[in-house]
Structure formats: C-alpha cells, structure tokens
Structure 1
Amino acid sequence: MRKILISAILFAGIAAGCKPQTETFSEIYGKDLNKVTAVYLTKGDGTTKDIKDKSKVKDFLAKLKNVKFITDKNQEKGAGYAYSIKLFEGKKETLFFDTSRIKDYNFHSDPDVASIADEAWGK
C-alpha cells in the first residue's frame, strides 16, 4: 500500500510539472508598473515607435497588466515576431520581450499581446 501511495504522489508531482505555467504580465514583471516611464515598440519589419506620454504609457500597461502568459510546450527558439516591447524606468531598461518570447520562454497570451501593441501603435 505504501508503494502505491508513493507512486501516486510522484506521478502527481510529475504531472503537475508538465502543465503549462500561466502568469499575468504583472506577475512576470514583478515590479511597480507605475514606475514605467516609456514603452518602445518595434514591429517585426524593424519600424519603431516610442511611447513616452505618461497617460499613453499608463493606458498601455493597464491593458497589458492582466494579460495571461501561457508557457508553450515547444520551447525551441523560433524566428521573427509581430512586435518587440521594451519597458523603461527613466533611462534604465527594465524588461524586453516580444510577442512570442518573454524571459527566455515561448508563450502565447490571452488576450493577444500583438493586438494590444497594434492598438498602441495606432495612437
């Protein structure tokens, strides 16, 4: 009986480790989003847009903070992205990610980060 119980616990632990990890953007950032002073967007084609207006930065981060980032099973590095995004506090870059990788992990998001960046790009 004891072997079955130990086996069940080990199996549950392994199975839990295989589930995709989900975190919100705020959890991933781990710092005070109110201190972000600028957002730099770069499209996949290399064109850039800097967002430095305080209200626009706040609006962008408000839409991003509760986005769920779900780690993909496939962690092989791919090529290309719709947008790359850099956050700054003053002159210090505090986070860099793109629409498919954050902190060296492939992800997909809910809602889609690219649609939030598209909206910010249009403003």
Structure 2
Amino acid sequence: MKRTLLTMVFTILLSGCGLETLTIDDYYKKNLENVSKIEVFDSSNSNSRTTTNKEEIMSFIKEIKDIKFIPDEDQSERDGFLYSITFYEDDKATLQFGLNQIGDDYYNTEPDIEPIVYEFFNSMSEQD
C-alpha cells in the first residue's frame, strides 16, 4: 500500500503542471505562412520595430519555428522581459510571446532564441 501511494505521489510530481515541450509551429495552430506582419518590442530601450516584408517574416519564422520551448520547472510569475514578439495576420494579432514565455507559461528554449531575435530586431527593414 505504501509503495502504491509513493508511486502515485511520484507520478503526480513528475507530471507537474502538465506543460509539454512545444515549438512555435505546434503552438500557432494556424498557418505560419499567413503571418503578414511581425512586431518586436525591445524592453531594454522601449524600441519597437515592425516588418511587413514577407521575405524577412518567412526567414525569421523559418529560424524559430522548430526551436523547442521546454517548460521551466519554476512557473512562478516574473516581472519584466527583454523582447516581446507579436505575429499578425492582416491587422489582427494572432500570437504574442517572449523569449521565455508563451501565454502565462514559462519556458527555456533549445537552442537559445535570444540571439536569433536580437539579430532579427537589429536587421528589420521597417521601424515604428
């Protein structure tokens, strides 16, 4: 009986909050090819840049779509972020995420998404 109870407790602990590793492609539930605008906000200097250049958009999506977002064991709320990325289809925001957050859930990325977003932000052709 003790062994069964211990096994059940261990299984519950291992399953945690039920988050699983995912990619932007998994999370986006729509067709990423329909993204028509990307906005990136850099909180370190409060700058925002936007692109509607389809080539830039698809190149960025290609680079990040298979990055693994691995649930962080620590899901406690945090303050601040470095970059916020928003995808749009026409003028409707369809996904907003950060380097380590999608929705209310926190993740680590493999490979690290930060240098990819940093490079994209600094190379974007249009600026707001």
Task: Bin the TM-score by the shorter chain.
Answer: 0.7 to 0.9
Mapped contact 1:20–1:73 kept (Cα < 8 A): no
Aligned to 2:64: 64
Deviation, 1:16, is 4.3
Specify whether residues 30 and 16 from structure 1 end up closer, same or farther in structure 2 by C-alpha distance, changes over 3 A only: farther
Aligned to 1:10: 8
Normalising by structure 2, report the TM-score.
0.82
Task: Please show how residues 96-111 of structure 1 align to structure 2 within 5 Å.
Answer: 96-111=96-111
Deviation, 1:106, is 1.0
Deviation, 1:11, is 5.2
Whole-Å Cα distance in 2 between the matches of residues 37 and 20 of structure 1?
29
Deviation, 1:7, is 5.0
What is the DSSP-based 3-state SS (H/G/I as helix, E as strand, rest coil) of the residue aligned with 2:22?
A: strand
Segments of structure 2 that go 5 or more residues without pairing to the other structure are 124-128
Whole-Å Cα distance in 1 between the matches of residues 114 and 49 of structure 2?
14
Which stretch shifts more, 29-38 or 11-20?
A: 11-20
**Number of aligned residue pairs:** 121
Aligned to 1:29: 28
What is the DSSP-based 3-state SS (H/G/I as helix, E as strand, rest coil) of the residue aligned with 2:33?
A: helix
Deviation, 1:26, is 0.6
Identity of aligned residues (%): 25
Specify whether residues 119 and 100 from structure 1 end up closer, same or farther in structure 2 by C-alpha distance, changes over 3 A only: same
Whole-Å Cα distance in 2 between the matches of residues 48 and 90 of structure 1?
18
Aligned to 1:116: 116
Which stretch shifts more, 54-63 or 44-53?
A: 44-53
- Deviation track 1:22-72 (CA, whole Å, cap 9, x = no partner) reads 111111112110010111000013101102100000000001100000111
RMSD between aligned residues: 2.1
